[in-house]
Structures are given as C-alpha cells and as structure tokens.
Amino acid sequence: MIKLNKVSKTYRTDKVETLALKDVDLHVQKGEFLAMMGPSGCGKSTLLNLIGLLDRPGQGSIEVEGLPVTRYKDSQVARLRNQTFGFIFQSFHLIPDLRVIDNVELPLLYRSMSAGERRRLAREALEKVGLGARMDHYPNQLSGGQQQRVAIARAIVGRPQVLLADEPTGNLDSKMGEEVMDILLRLNAEGTTVVMVTHDEREARRTNRIVRVFDGQLVA
Ligand SMILES: Nc1ncnc2c1ncn2[C@@H]1O[C@H](COP(=O)(O)OP(=O)(O)O)[C@@H](O)[C@H]1O
Ligand SMILES: [Mg+2]
C-alpha cells in the first residue's frame, strides 16, 4: 500500500545538519497494524511524517497505492494526504474553544459536504470511540484518555484508509492507554491500516509487526 524506496531525510538549520533517515526501505501492507519503536531522536516521527505525506524525502521515493507521490505537486500531495491518512499525536491538539463535535468535524470542512452530513459523520466517529454522550463538552471537560479518543474520532471522521499515530498513548496512564490501544486494534480489525510509534513493548506486541529504528535506519 505504501512503499518507501531508499528514503533519506536531512534537516538543515543555520548551524547544523542532521541526517534523520538514511536509505530506508519500508513496505506498509494494506490492512496491517505496524508498530515502530526506537530510542528518542532515532527518526521515528520523521519516518511517520514521510509515510503520511506531511513532509518530502531528500532522496528516494515514496509510492502510495502505486502512485509516484514524490513526483507530485504540493497541491496534489495535499489532496491525496487528506483522502488517505488520519493522524493522531501524543498531545491531542484539540481546539479548546470548540465543542467536541465541532473539533471532530474540522477535517470535513475541506470537503464539499452539507453541514448535516458533516454532523452525521462526526457523530458516528464519536460513537465509534465511545464518546457519543460527550459531543457537547469542551475538551478541558474531558480526561486525557477521552481527549485522545476525540482526537481519534477526528482522525477517522473522513474515513481514511491509513491511521498514523505518533506515540498516541505517551501522555496517558496505562488504563487510558489500553483503551486507546483497544480502539486502534478495533479500527484495524475493521480494515484500517495502522502505523503507530510507541515506546511500550506490551502495546507493540499486540500489533502484527514491529519495525525497529536506530540512528535513522531500520534494524532487523
Ligand atoms: N524540524 C526539524 N529540524 C531540525 N532537526 C530535526 C527536525 N525534526 C527532527 N529533527 C532531528 O532529526 C532527528 C530525528 O528526529 P525525530 O524523527 O523527531 O525522532 P524520534 O521521533 O524518533 O524521536 C533528531 O536528531 C531530531 O533532532
Ligand atoms: Mg518522535
């Protein structure tokens, strides 16, 4: 489904150059749940951002369903990204002034869709994560685990084929983390491909495959 061929990424600032990824080959299979592990700074987030077309590689190429996206214009990449991927981060990135339901609807504002249809899909997404009864709350009225579930609802509201999660349980206690993990596993069982960065070996063992990153490279 997603193929990275000899992908490298260098970050340049005024003073330093960091080679964050070197010659990475990775094939994310449709329908799998892949866990990505490795020490802090080894390149996991960089890799996830490249898979999700949030950033472009310096060298190498990426294919999404056979499409040569590295050769696409930014506008084409953005369209494909919005149609294909949902993102979840360690910090939930909810908008505090918006109710839960409005936060979840946000990604749909970029699609041509009636307000009623948006509301229906957002409600469905919130029911999927067990928060149908919290739609009119504001984010600060929810626990961390509930906020992350809202973020998952927002990530899946556009029915993405692939869910990318960067340490989604990193800010949660183990019980809330387990609930988030249960939801990701259920979405995966329903057909969504999931790629998740985690530091938790127990979580990683519940997935189909673990990819270990070290110093910008994949290690067996
Ligand atoms: N926007 C950026 N600008 C400069 N350096 C960056 C940037 N993002 C990441 N890096 C560097 O690239 C390396 C990999 O970072 P990252 O992918 O965030 O690692 P991880 O997610 O595994 O902790 C690190 O050395 C980090 O400091
Ligand atoms: Mg990271």
Structure tokens at 109: 């504002």
Minimal-distance CA residue to ligand 1 atom 1: 11
The atom of ligand 1 lying closest to the CA of 40 is 23
- What is the average pLDDT value for the chain, to the nearest integer? 96
Which residue, 106, 99, 160, is CA-closest to 135?
Answer: 99
Atom of ligand 1 nearest to the CA of 166: 21
C-alpha of 149 from chain center: 13
The closest alpha carbon to 129, from 98, 154, 109, 110, belongs to 154
CB of 46 within 6 A of ligand 1: the answer is: yes
Query: Which ligand ends up closest to the CA of 38?
Result: 1
CA of 1 to the centre of ligand 1 (A): 25
Instruction: Name the closest ligand to CA 37.
Output: 1
- Confidence check: pLDDT of 118 > 90: yes
Tell me the C-alpha distance between 11 and 215, whole Å: 14
- H or E element that contains 17: strand 17-28
Q: Which residues contact 12 (CB under 8 A, 6 or more apart)?
A: 18
Q: Atom 6 of ligand 1 has which residue's CA nearest to it?
A: 11
Strand pairing of 67-68 and 59-64?
antiparallel
Per the DSSP assignment, residues forming a β-bridge with 212 are 37, 219
Q: Cβ(75) to ligand 1 under 6 A?
A: no
Taking only the tens place, the pLDDT of each residue in 26-44 is: 999 999 999 999 999 999 9
**CA distance linking residue 131 with residue 141, whole number of Å:** 13
Ligand 1 contact, 18 CB (< 6 A) = yes
Q: At 116, which CATH number?
A: 3.40.50.300
Q: How many domains does the chain have?
A: 1
Tokens read off for 204: 């990683």
Evaluate if residue 220 carries a pLDDT over 90.
Answer: no
Confidence of residue 112 (pLDDT cuts 50, 70, 90): confident
Residue ranges near ligand 2 (ion) with Cβ within 5 Å:
45
Q: What is the average per-residue pLDDT within 136-162?
A: 96
Asked if residue 75 lies in contact with residue 50, where contact means CB atoms within 8 angstroms, the answer is no
Q: What is the pLDDT of residue 111?
A: 84
Nearest CA to ligand 1 atom 20: 41
Residue 81 has pLDDT above 90, yes or no: yes
pLDDT at 110: 81
Q: What are 155-199's pLDDT values in tens digits?
A: 999 999 999 999 999 999 999 999 999 999 999 999 999 999 999
d(CA 181, CA 179): 5
**Number of alpha carbons in the 13 Å side-chain half-sphere of residue 131:** 32
Q: Which domain holds residue 131?
A: 2-216
Is pTM beyond 0.85? Reply is yes
Angle between helices 144-156 and 174-189 (to 10 degrees): 20
